[in-house]
Amino acid sequence: MTKKPMILGIGGSGAAMVEQLALLPGIGEYHLALVDTDRSAIEHSSATFLLSAAADWGIASGCGCGGDVIRGERALAAERQSVQKMLAEASCLTVCGGLGGGTATGGVRTISSVARTMNIPAAFLLTTPFSFEAYSRKQNADECIRELLPVVDILLTIPNDLLFSKLPPDLPAAQAFEKSALEMAYTVFGVSELMRCRNLLGADYAAFMRPVKGVRCDCSLGVGVADSSDGLDRSAIALERLLASPFLGGPDFLKKAETLFLVLSGGTDLQLAELKRTMEMASDVFPKKIEVFSGAAISENMDGRIQLTAIAVKYEKTPHTRKKTAVGRQELRQPDDGAVSTGELLQEEFSLTSYSRGIFENLPPTKYRDEDLDIPTFQRRNISIDRGKTGA
Amino acid sequence: MGSAMRTPVTVIEFGTDKIRVLHGNGDGEGGALVTSFAEAPSEGSVIKGAIHDPVKAGKILGGVLDRTGNTEAINDDNRMTLFLLNGAVVNSCRGEGSLMLHDGGKVENRHVEDVLTKAHGITLPPGMVSFNSFDGFFVLDRRSRVKYPVGQHANQLDAYLHILTTEQRVLDQIHGIMFNLGFERKGEPLFNGVASAYGVLRKDEREQGALLIDFGHGACDYVLVCTEGIYLSGVLPVGVAHVANDLAIGLDLPYDYCLKFLREGKLKKMRDADTAFLEYVVSVTGKKRRIPLDSFERIIEFRLREIYSVIRAKVQEKNLSSCMTAGVVLCGGGSMIEGSLEMAKDIFSDSAVRIGEPFGVAGVMNGFEMPPPCYASILGALKYAVEELSQQEESGIDVVRNALSRVGENVLSNVRKVFRR
């Protein structure tokens, strides 16, 4: 099998996105892959590459992770060799899924590690939990993002809250989730088109990577699709539909956005004038202060259609930090420079975690910027580690 | 280049992992020759690069000296003895001197001597002494940075030295250990990072600018060399021991087991064998624990990333990133950890990164159990000594003896050119 760009869905959300992707025209240029711990999702998937990783529940194996990140991590770790075989067919990789549960949150680390080892350019588009979901899911997602940020080139996180904030409240829930998956699928497709490097406007993988590497950012996305049946001015229609996209966040989000990725995907019938007009119209519409990265990708499968994909990126400022002293007492959270103080009273917490220094226990600490470097780095970063399972 | 080149040299290293002694001399053709070598585990007498238990360290050193088979010769009149200094006790500062020129503006040797004397005249806190000083660079008329100012025209000459300092008690402690073992003359201290730089940096790297990181067992030394001068140096007291400690705490494994895991490169070997889990037998219960290799990888990655990020921040704080044209060179045992080179490449993404192996040293190498980058400092110290001895023979100045008494004397001879042509 020849190497092609690959779109990989991970976990339940990833499976839904992959199903929508399979229906898009132009998807033939890609390998579609799905990794999940839920065997039934694998059995019903249209993806070309399927990997069922078993989270070890005994008789319930193959029924998902139950939101347990450690199980998700172990399941993918055990299938690392299979992941390697799968990614050997990929020239570049786009990973999509939803953080907060077990499979994607635990397993995405293995995917990123394998991609890095194999030197495959990879972009990660992951959603973060709803605000009404359990706090532990948000914590799991935050921890995963913290860990992924230094090691992946492109990580775009899309808050689920944003996905549904603009939809009509009387829309049936099933339709809302389907629409969300479809919009995400279009976006994943648009991003993947940019990475495919058949790019006319010079915005390639490296240009895509530069503004977001190592930086936590929240994104909103908008997709506008138009084809020849929509009339001569399909570019204007595509732009109109993009701006009307419920997941773009509207003017409120765009005002706060700092970077915008704009990708025009079209077929061999895309004309120069059309390309120029579309990009000019789009640039006029978005706030001037936004830094715009434009890309245009051509595919025979897109003949007669154009798709305009926009990803608006709002960088998270240096997060509020919780400084922990050597004895585990936390100081008051301090807002960083530039953040607006709301005057809100913050509840202090006493950390019940005691940090071991191991062989350096009775020695003077090695201090650097208020941190004791003798305490393991992963502990100071609040990263949980799978210590493995003891067998019989 | 005759007798001085063959002057016997003894180098002593009090490493966190091993205490080492090396005897050697010049080979008569500009290179260095090892005549004998021995090492022994430091058994906790040295921690984070600094001597923690001098009695134990002395005992171990005595045993190592005996094994080199050269104990009686250590007091040869001609022998040069060096000991490597490391740890958080080593600090650096910049000495600055300024001189206005009134004699037609042409820089002469006496001007250089005067300005170096001023540059060397730093005031140190009580109890601190300078033990090494190296060329930084000269500046003419506050505009042009030059390496060799003699013969050039200027109204003002500024000199910048890189001076390494430590506590007097540290030097006294080491001299005490050596005295108890029969050394009648005080050895000469040399910063571990400079020794490693001598060992692995190529001439073009020293000229264009390179950051040397010696990733040792107890500490990481870093030295930025540019135009054959030192612009920056430091010690981060975090090393391979911290990586092993992190694994031990994170995975609830014995420290020695984790150290062995790192040294034997087991992560790579198991990955190559397509193994996803390490099976560890809990000795008390006999039960097996299956630990994902990903967990090892994550813990190691976090620590390596932090170490290299801290060093990078130190360079950026001094705005010296542009002085690293030739890139970054890693050495020491930590550079051989799986993923260390890749992590350094990631952190120093704007620079070329390589692992440096000592070169220009031949002779008895069968005492070396581990890969060459681990011995960069001790072999580099031998090269340093050989080069110093050849300079001594050329200039006729005895710069070897009484290292501590040289402050305030003829500074031109005291300032070591780091790498002469």
The angle formed by the CA atoms of residues A286, A288 and A294, to the nearest 5 degrees, is 60
Q: How is chain A split among helix, strand and coil, in percent rounded to 5? A: 40, 25, 40
- Across the interface, do B238 and A387 touch by the CB < 8 Å criterion? no
- Comparing alpha-carbon positions, the chain A residue that sits nearest to B347 is A150
Residue B72 lies in a domain: no
State the pLDDT confidence band at A61, using cuts at 50, 70 and 90.
Answer: low
**Predicted pLDDT at B401:** 33
Question: Residue B233 above 90 pLDDT?
Answer: yes
State the pLDDT confidence band at A55, using cuts at 50, 70 and 90.
Answer: low
Lowest mean pLDDT among A200-214, B120-134, B265-279, B371-385: A200-214
Residue B300 lies in a domain: no
**DSSP string covering B216-249, please?**
-SS-EEEEEEETTEEEEEEEES--HHHHHHHHHH
**DSSP string covering B184-223, please?**
-S--EEEEHHHHHHHHH--HHHHHH-EEEEEE-SS-EEEE
**Predicted pLDDT at A338:** 40
Whether A305 and A368 share a structural domain: no
What gap in Å lies between CA A106 and CA A141, rounded to an integer?
10
| Chain B residues touching A358 at Cβ < 8 A | 245-246, 248-249, 255
**Predicted pLDDT at B326:** 94
Question: Residue B18 above 90 pLDDT?
Answer: yes
The pTM score is 0.78
Mean of pLDDT over chain B: 85
Whether A365 and A282 share a structural domain: no
Q: What is the pLDDT of residues A62-87, one digit of tens each?
A: 777 778 888 888 888 888 889 999 99
What gap in Å lies between CA B132 and CA B399, rounded to an integer?
12
| Chain B residues touching A359 at Cβ < 8 A | 241, 245, 248, 255
Backbone angles phi, psi at B346, to 5 degrees: -70, -45
Total structural domains within chain B: 1
Helix (H, G, I), strand (E, B) or coil at B412: helix
pLDDT above 90 covers what percent of chain A? 16
What gap in Å lies between CA A210 and CA A214, rounded to an integer?
9
Residue B115 lies in a domain: yes
Question: Residue B404 above 60 pLDDT?
Answer: no
- Comparing alpha-carbon positions, the chain A residue that sits nearest to B239 is A374
Mutation target vs A (from B252, B294, B303; most A CBs, 10 A cutoff): B294
Residue A178 lies in a domain: no
Total structural domains within chain A: 3
Alpha helices in chain A (DSSP H): 11-21, 39-43, 69-78, 80-87, 103-117, 135-148, 160-165, 173-195, 205-209, 234-243, 250-256, 272-285, 377-380
**Predicted pLDDT at A172:** 83
**Predicted pLDDT at A49:** 87
What gap in Å lies between CA B28 and CA B363, rounded to an integer?
13
pLDDT above 70 covers what percent of chain A? 83
Q: What is the pLDDT of residues B349-391, one digit of tens each?
A: 889 999 999 988 887 665 566 668 889 999 999 999 998 888 7
CATH (domain of B156): 3.30.1490.110
Mutation target vs B (from A385, A387, A390; most B CBs, 10 A cutoff): A385
What gap in Å lies between CA A307 and CA A63, rounded to an integer?
37
What gap in Å lies between CA A355 and CA B250, rounded to an integer?
11
Judge whether A376 is closer than 8 Å to chain B, CB to CB.
Answer: yes
Lowest mean pLDDT among B82-91, B96-105, B392-401: B392-401
Answer with the residue of higher pLDDT: B193 or B185: B193
Answer with the residue of higher pLDDT: A227 or B210: B210
**Predicted pLDDT at A221:** 80
Lowest mean pLDDT among A90-94, B53-57, B102-106: B102-106
Q: Half-sphere exposure (CA, 13 Å, Cβ side) for A289?
A: 7
Answer with the residue of higher pLDDT: B363 or B201: B201
Judge whether A374 is closer than 8 Å to chain B, CB to CB.
Answer: yes
The angle formed by the CA atoms of residues B270, A85 and A54, to the nearest 5 degrees, is 80
Judge whether B175 is closer than 8 Å to chain A, CB to CB.
Answer: no
- Across the interface, do B294 and A147 touch by the CB < 8 Å criterion? no
**Predicted pLDDT at B389:** 83
Lowest mean pLDDT among A57-61, A123-127, B386-390: A57-61
| Chain B residues touching A390 at Cβ < 8 A | 282, 287-289
Q: B297 vs chain A: nearest CA distance in angstroms?
A: 9
**Predicted pLDDT at B282:** 80
- Comparing alpha-carbon positions, the chain B residue that sits nearest to A390 is B289
Question: Residue A111 above 90 pLDDT?
Answer: yes
Question: Residue A58 above 90 pLDDT?
Answer: no
Q: A286 vs chain B: nearest CA distance in angstroms?
A: 33
State the pLDDT confidence band at B409, using cuts at 50, 70 and 90.
Answer: very low
Question: Residue A166 above 70 pLDDT?
Answer: no
Whether A13 and A148 share a structural domain: yes
**Predicted pLDDT at B2:** 52
State the pLDDT confidence band at B223, using cuts at 50, 70 and 90.
Answer: very high
Whether A73 and A97 share a structural domain: yes
Which residue's structure tokens are 């939990």?
A129
For residue A93, give the H/E element and its range: strand A90-98
**Predicted pLDDT at B297:** 93
Judge whether A132 is closer than 8 Å to chain B, CB to CB.
Answer: no
Q: Which of A100, A123, A152 is the last residue of a domain?
A: A152
Residue A270 lies in a domain: yes
Residue A12 lies in a domain: yes
From the number of C-beta atoms within 10 Å of its C-beta (0-12, 13-18, 19+), residue A362 rates as exposed
CATH (domain of A224): 3.30.1330.20
Q: B14 vs chain A: nearest CA distance in angstroms?
A: 19
Whether A335 and A310 share a structural domain: no
Lowest mean pLDDT among A94-98, A270-274, B37-41: A270-274
Answer with the residue of higher pLDDT: A270 or B394: A270
pLDDT above 70 covers what percent of chain B? 88
CATH (domain of A141): 3.40.50.1440
**Predicted pLDDT at A324:** 35
Residue B144 lies in a domain: yes
Whether A294 and A336 share a structural domain: no
- Comparing alpha-carbon positions, the chain B residue that sits nearest to A355 is B249
Residue type for A28, please? Answer: G
Question: Residue B295 above 90 pLDDT?
Answer: yes
Q: What is the pLDDT of residues A170-228, one digit of tens each?
A: 878 788 778 888 888 888 887 787 776 555 555 566 667 777 777 788 788 888 888 88
**Predicted pLDDT at B26:** 85
- Comparing alpha-carbon positions, the chain A residue that sits nearest to B249 is A358
Calculate mean pLDDT across residues A383-389. 86
Residue B159 lies in a domain: yes
CB B233 within 8 A of CB B239: no
Judge whether B409 is closer than 8 Å to chain A, CB to CB.
Answer: no
**Predicted pLDDT at B407:** 32
Answer with the residue of higher pLDDT: B3 or A13: A13
Lowest mean pLDDT among A133-137, A318-322, B12-16, B385-389: A318-322
For A388, the closest of B238, B290, B301 (CB atoms) is: B290
Judge whether B287 is closer than 8 Å to chain A, CB to CB.
Answer: yes
| Chain B residues touching A81 at Cβ < 8 A | 274, 276
Q: Half-sphere exposure (CA, 13 Å, Cβ side) for B73?
A: 15
Residue type for A130, please? Answer: F
State the pLDDT confidence band at B123, using cuts at 50, 70 and 90.
Answer: confident
Residue B137 lies in a domain: yes
Calculate mean pLDDT across residues B201-210. 92
User: Which residues span the domain enclosing A256?
Assistant: 219-315
Hey, how many other C-beta atoms are within 10 angstroms of the C-beta on B73? Answer: 12
User: Which residues span the domain enclosing B134?
Assistant: 91-165
Checking DSSP bridges between strand B91-100 and strand B46-47, what pairing results, if any? unpaired
Residue B24 lies in a domain: no
State the pLDDT confidence band at A288, using cuts at 50, 70 and 90.
Answer: confident
Whether A93 and A230 share a structural domain: no
Checking DSSP bridges between strand B32-41 and strand B361-363, what pairing results, if any? parallel
Whether A353 and A337 share a structural domain: yes
Whether A83 and A37 share a structural domain: yes
**Predicted pLDDT at B192:** 95
Q: What is the pLDDT of residues A291-335, one digit of tens each?
A: 887 778 777 777 888 888 888 888 876 543 333 333 333 333 333
Residue B142, CA distances (Å) to B158, B227, B276 in order: 7, 18, 60
Answer with the residue of higher pLDDT: A190 or A103: A103
Residue B179 lies in a domain: no
**Predicted pLDDT at A320:** 38
Whether A359 and A338 share a structural domain: yes
**Predicted pLDDT at B364:** 67
Calculate mean pLDDT across residues B298-302. 95
For A109, the closest of B245, B274, B294 (CB atoms) is: B294
Checking DSSP bridges between strand B9-14 and strand B80-85, what pairing results, if any? parallel
Residue A244 lies in a domain: yes
Calculate mean pLDDT across residues A101-108. 90
What gap in Å lies between CA A222 and CA A248, rounded to an integer?
5
What gap in Å lies between CA B197 and CA B331, rounded to an integer?
9
What gap in Å lies between CA A35 and CA A104, rounded to an integer?
9
Whether A352 and A252 share a structural domain: no
Whether A276 and A346 share a structural domain: no
- Comparing alpha-carbon positions, the chain B residue that sits nearest to A78 is B276
State the pLDDT confidence band at B393, using cuts at 50, 70 and 90.
Answer: low
